[in-house]
Amino acid sequence: MNLRRVTLIALPYLWLLGFFLVPFLIVLKIALSDTAVAIPPYTPTLDLSGGWAAIRDFFGQLDFENFTWLTEDELYWKSYLSSVRIAAISTFITLLVGYPIAYAMAQSPDEWRPTLMMLVILPFWTSFLIRVYAWIGILSNEGFLNQFLLWTGLIDTPLTIMNTTTAVYVGIVYTYLPFMILPIYAALEKLDGSLIEAAEDLGCSRLSAFWLVTLPLSRPGVIAGCFLVFIPALGEFVIPSLLGGSQTLMIGKVLWEEFFSNRDWPVASAVAVVLLLLLIIPIVLFQKNQQRQQEAEQ
């Protein structure tokens, strides 16, 4: 029994060790290296054939110059700030759109829920890249949206939406909307309807019952949805590249440029490490806060 328990506990940790910690250590090592015109394009490289002397020399050549460079060049910290701003606003818009949809799904008849669920996940049946390219045809100056608005007479000249931050918001909200809807729907579906009835019997209106009962009880789903949208949106590369153009500054684009255009793997790795820390630290702090609240309630 103890062996089974140890095995069940060890498997996820081994998975994290092999597919998260080891790659992270490799990226961190490259971030502490220096750029070199070689293959691989960084130095030093570890040569175990030299024994302990080679290992000591290897660690002695590692430094934090690339991380210092990130603080000195305004391109990087502006990219981080811009990415956080775009990801936060996109998450907020996705929440405003996704919560009513999830609430309507939870309030719908039982026989309609599987169909509504299928409609939410239906976009995943199509390639992500194709869906983003479709928005180019919709938002461009000669696209469907401008043609429709011109036909209705609402505008006289085409709107400039492509290659702007607005197009990036549209792409992110559209792409990650199901990730917001599904966890909120899961939380609302489990909600006990008798609690709403009790609140109304005690004098609450439908709106008051929603704010005092439904919304607080759906908070775990809201938090999960916000994390599922904010985390990938922060490092998004495809959407800002195709819809935002060169004017949109996001850390995912900077990371790609450093890796593939500048071939500066150490700086790119440092950018990736900082981005990972920006994502992990708030999650860890949130989990600790949740754990303290649960312990206080017990």
Is residue 53 very low, low, confident or very high in pLDDT (cuts 50, 70, 90)? Answer: confident
DSSP 23-63: HHHHHHHHHTSEE-SSSSSEE----GGGHHHHHHHHHHT--
pLDDT for 174 equals 95
Cα–Cα distance between 274 and 233 in angstroms, integer?
16
Q: Tokens 């700086």 identify what position?
A: 267
CATH of domain 69-297: 1.10.3720.10
pLDDT for 297 equals 64
The phi and psi torsions of 34 (rounded to 5 degrees) equal -115, 150
Cα 237 from chain centre? 11
In 3D space, the residue among 127, 95, 117, 135 whose CA is nearest the CA of residue 215 turns out to be 95
Handedness of CA 118, 119, 123, 126 (dihedral sign): positive
Cα–Cα distance between 99 and 119 in angstroms, integer?
16
Q: Which two tokens stand for residue 166?
A: 């607005």
pLDDT for 298 equals 62
CB count within 10 Å of CB 278 equals: 16
Q: Tokens 């702007």 identify what position?
A: 164
Residues 64-87 have a mean pLDDT of 91
Provide the 8-state DSSP code for 257. I
Tens-digit pLDDT profile for residues 238-288: 999 999 877 788 999 999 989 888 889 999 999 999 998 888 877 787 777
Supply the pTM of this predicted model: 0.88
Q: Helix, strand, coil shares of the chain as percentages rounded to 5?
A: 80, 0, 20
Tens-digit pLDDT profile for residues 97-131: 999 999 999 989 889 999 999 999 998 888 899 99
Cα–Cα distance between 112 and 51 in angstroms, integer?
67
Which amino acid belongs to residue 80? Y
Cα 284 from chain centre? 16
Q: Is the pLDDT of residue 52 over 90?
A: no
